[in-house]
Structure 1
Amino acid sequence: MNHTTKQTYMALLILVILLAGANTVQAVSAGDECLTAVVEDISPSSVGINEQFTVGISLENCGTRVPENITFEIIRIPPDIIVTESLVAYIPKFVYRDSERQLRYHMRTTPDAKPGPHIIRMRLTYGSDDAYVVKYYDAEVIVTGEHAEPRISSVRTNPRYIYEGDTVDLSLEIENFGKGIAKSVVVNLDHDFKGITNSTVGSLATGGNQTALFKFKAGTAGTFVIPVIISYEDDYGKQRDEYDIQLTVLDRKGNLNVASVKVDPVLPYEGDTVELTMRIENSGDNSINSVRVYYDHPFKGLKESFIGTLDPNEDGPAVITFVADEAGEYQLPVTITYSDDFGEEQIRTNINLIVMEKSSGAGTAIIVLLILAVIGGLIYYNYRTTRSKDAVIRQLMEGNGNSDGSKKE
């Protein structure tokens, strides 16, 4: 081997040694302290509301050296997840290079936990002061929930057939068709009647039902589409659903009717004391209070009569007396006032009254004669009608006899 060949060989050998040294340095550098955390499992995988679960963490050595001064801790927890043990785990040193350490945290969701993803923030630290390492990890916990679905299952009214002026009891059966619990259920009616517009139901379990009660006065006749708003809370928070119901109000003015009117005497004369009686009937399904009748007449005497309370299908008299001090034909306005659960109401009507003039005996005699003539005319008409009937019967009888005689001949 000549000198040149020796130099070339030595140069190649030195290059190989240098390259081998470089690789060794890199391997030592890559094989330094290394530790990692792995979220192994969340059990059960589907976490419900107000349920317990566990989170398993595995600490694994990813380097060539044994890690020291290891601290693993949970640094941020969602408000609706509770950890039931210490948040910090301290490990002075792994036993050997390929060691692993298993951590398991017991947790539970709160009763008001909101469904959806929840992030748990964790931190891993290890090493000495001159080689201190900090790593962060996230564990995602999916909280599952159920939707509630409160709906109207039936509609009932009392009375069944609603008339204008009726006081109505409305019952809405609310049933939960969903899988979650409906909490703080409130039902509102968007109507223009006088009365109650909201009803608190409370909580409804799955398949549960409650009755929302309302009371109102059907002020006007017609067909009405009434929005029904149901507000509630379920696992996903506050909810609001809207439905419609239809009510038909029939045309009838009020619950009070004038059953009869009596004037005593029937044909009063000028100067007579008259007793006027009007019977007021409650034809509705509810009691009516403070029934008062006012007669707007021009005579001296009483003008108002107080009846009081009338129960369903009950009637009462409104009686006044006055002196008919002037003859003539009168149309007396009458105002009937009453009160119910929704305030005071009025009904107006009229009464016709004839007051005769005081006259001489001849005039009275003429009136009596006229009355007698009318009565006589009625008697005569009845007499003629009777004779006519008798004649028809006689003719029929005679006709039947002649018919038989003809047959004999």
Structure 2
Amino acid sequence: MVDIKSIFNIKYVIAAALAFILIITPVNAELGIVLDSLSPQPVEPGQDFVLSVTLSNENSDASDVMLTLLPDSYIILKNEHDRVTTIGNIIKYGAFTKTYQLHANSNAVSGSYEIDLSTRWLNNGQLRISNKTINVIVRGTPQLAISNITITPELISPLDTFDIAFVVSNEGAGISHDVIVSTVTEGLPFVTAGTDTKVIKTLDRGEQIQLGFRIMVKDKADISSYSIPVKMEYKDENGKNISSQSTVGVKVLGRAKLSVANIKTEPQNPSQGEHFTVTMRIENSGTGDAKSSKITFTTPLEGNKTAFLGKIKPNDDAPAIFTFIASESGNIPYSASVEFEDDLGIHTQTWELNQYVSGKEGNSLMAPVSIVAVVVAAIFYRFRWKKRAN
């Protein structure tokens, strides 16, 4: 039969023996590497950051203490003399603090990078080593911008349609997601002809893409310069919403549009050999001033063939007066060419016209016709007088 009391006595003896062994055995020193601070976190590529650690000695004295830092290849130690630090002795319950100035390589992609710290020391003549790995989070922030802006055609006026093209590039250090690029025409004299929004799934850092929008100028647009906002909305690698905006400058130019409002001839039916006047009214139905306007006639008739009109404003007109000698008869064709300048340049417009001139013989018939009319009238009145007398 087992003696329960004897078993318990044996256990007490064993426990007491173990405790005695622990008491008489010297405790090895352990220098703990404690992370004090790592800032900023996360750190952007191309940015500096600070690491601070403390060696804490909770046991017996440590001698010949040495601290070594081994960073990842994308983590740069700004002072190479700090790579190995000779500390010397750290007494029991003592501590030593070390601060490192570091730099995240601008080519580092977003992710986790390791910094290995190793400390070596002697305890009772024995070499002791302790290691610690610290993870550094590198995360870039995307930054979108537009460049290489082109407008086609370069010269635009009300009712014109033009194309805006530009390059969207990620100038930041992180990947952009769910990119939405849109032109904002609200409150401006423009209408987007087609979609006003482009979507890009991802745009990596340093990546770029060409985008284009088609836009129409409203008919009532003032002749002026405008800025069309280009809005970019996207997410960074943490899903945070980011918004930025650029502008595209557009200048709306005035376009003059001249036409013949009416033509008046005085006398209305000139005869060969007569002087007559042609008054031509030129109307500007465009959106810009017609400057330095002049009209030139090309005709076999003799007379002044050029008239200067000067500036004709939109929705206004100006008269051009010409005096000719009807040197020949018949249906005489001629052309009128107007030359003018507006914001788009110098223009010429020509109208093909004709002028009828009666021949001289047409006038010589007037006397016989008049005589016949007088004779007929005299006969008529005489016949009526006789009839009354009877």
TM-score normalized by the length of structure 1: 0.49
Q: Structure 1, residues 231-256: CA drift from partner, whole Å, max 9, x if none?
A: xxx99557556242343899xx9611
In 2, the alpha carbon distance for the partners of 1:143 and 1:38 equals: 24
Deviation for aligned residue 1:329 = 0.1
Match of 2:149 in 1: 188
**Contact 1:42–1:56, Cα closer than 8 Å, also in 2:** yes
Of 47, 52, 57, the match for 1:56: 52
Match of 2:41 in 1: 45
- Give 3-state SS (helix, strand or coil) of 1:286's partner: coil
Q: Structure 1, residues 7-36: CA drift from partner, whole Å, max 9, x if none?
A: xxxxxxxxxxxxxxxxxxxxxxxx9x9989
CA RMSD between the two structures: 5.6
Match of 2:311 in 1: 309
Q: Which amino acid aligns with 1:242?
A: L
**Contact 2:256–2:288, Cα closer than 8 Å, also in 1:** no
Deviation for aligned residue 1:345 = 1.8
In 1, the alpha carbon distance for the partners of 2:207 and 2:370 equals: 85
Classify 1:288/1:361 alpha carbon distance in 2 versus 1 (closer, same or farther; 3 Å): closer
**Sequence identity of aligned pairs in percent?**
20
Classify 1:35/1:304 alpha carbon distance in 2 versus 1 (closer, same or farther; 3 Å): farther
Of 110, 116, 119, the match for 1:116: 110
Match of 1:93 in 2: 88
Deviation for aligned residue 1:320 = 2.2
Q: Which amino acid aligns with 1:310?
A: I
Deviation for aligned residue 1:42 = 2.6
**1:141-290 alignment, distance < 5 Å:** 141-148=137-144, 185-186=146-147, 188-192=149-153, 194=155, 236=205, 239-240=208-209, 242-247=211-216, 255-290=257-292
- Give 3-state SS (helix, strand or coil) of 1:266's partner: coil
Q: Structure 1, residues 377-406: CA drift from partner, whole Å, max 9, x if none?
A: xxxxxxxxxxxxxxxxxxxxxxxxxxxxxx
Classify 1:227/1:363 alpha carbon distance in 2 versus 1 (closer, same or farther; 3 Å): farther
Count of residue pairs brought into register by the alignment = 276
Structure 1, unaligned runs of 5 or more: 1-30, 149-182, 201-208, 213-222, 370-409
- Give 3-state SS (helix, strand or coil) of 1:194's partner: coil
In 2, the alpha carbon distance for the partners of 1:336 and 1:353 equals: 18
Pair 1:329-2:298 in alignment: no
Match of 2:341 in 1: 339
Q: 115-124 or 341-350, which moves further after superposition?
A: 115-124
Q: Which amino acid aligns with 1:364?
A: M
Classify 1:53/1:89 alpha carbon distance in 2 versus 1 (closer, same or farther; 3 Å): same
Match of 2:242 in 1: none
Classify 1:67/1:224 alpha carbon distance in 2 versus 1 (closer, same or farther; 3 Å): same
Point out the structure with the larger helix share.
1
Q: Structure 1, residues 275-296: CA drift from partner, whole Å, max 9, x if none?
A: 2221111112221212121211
Classify 1:140/1:51 alpha carbon distance in 2 versus 1 (closer, same or farther; 3 Å): closer
Deviation for aligned residue 1:354 = 0.3
**Contact 2:295–2:339, Cα closer than 8 Å, also in 1:** yes
In 2, the alpha carbon distance for the partners of 1:122 and 1:301 equals: 101
- Give 3-state SS (helix, strand or coil) of 1:326's partner: coil
Q: Which amino acid aligns with 1:194?
A: L
**Contact 1:115–1:235, Cα closer than 8 Å, also in 2:** no
- Give 3-state SS (helix, strand or coil) of 2:272's partner: coil
- Give 3-state SS (helix, strand or coil) of 1:270's partner: coil
**Contact 2:36–2:52, Cα closer than 8 Å, also in 1:** yes
Q: Which amino acid aligns with 1:304?
A: T
TM-score normalized by the length of structure 2: 0.50
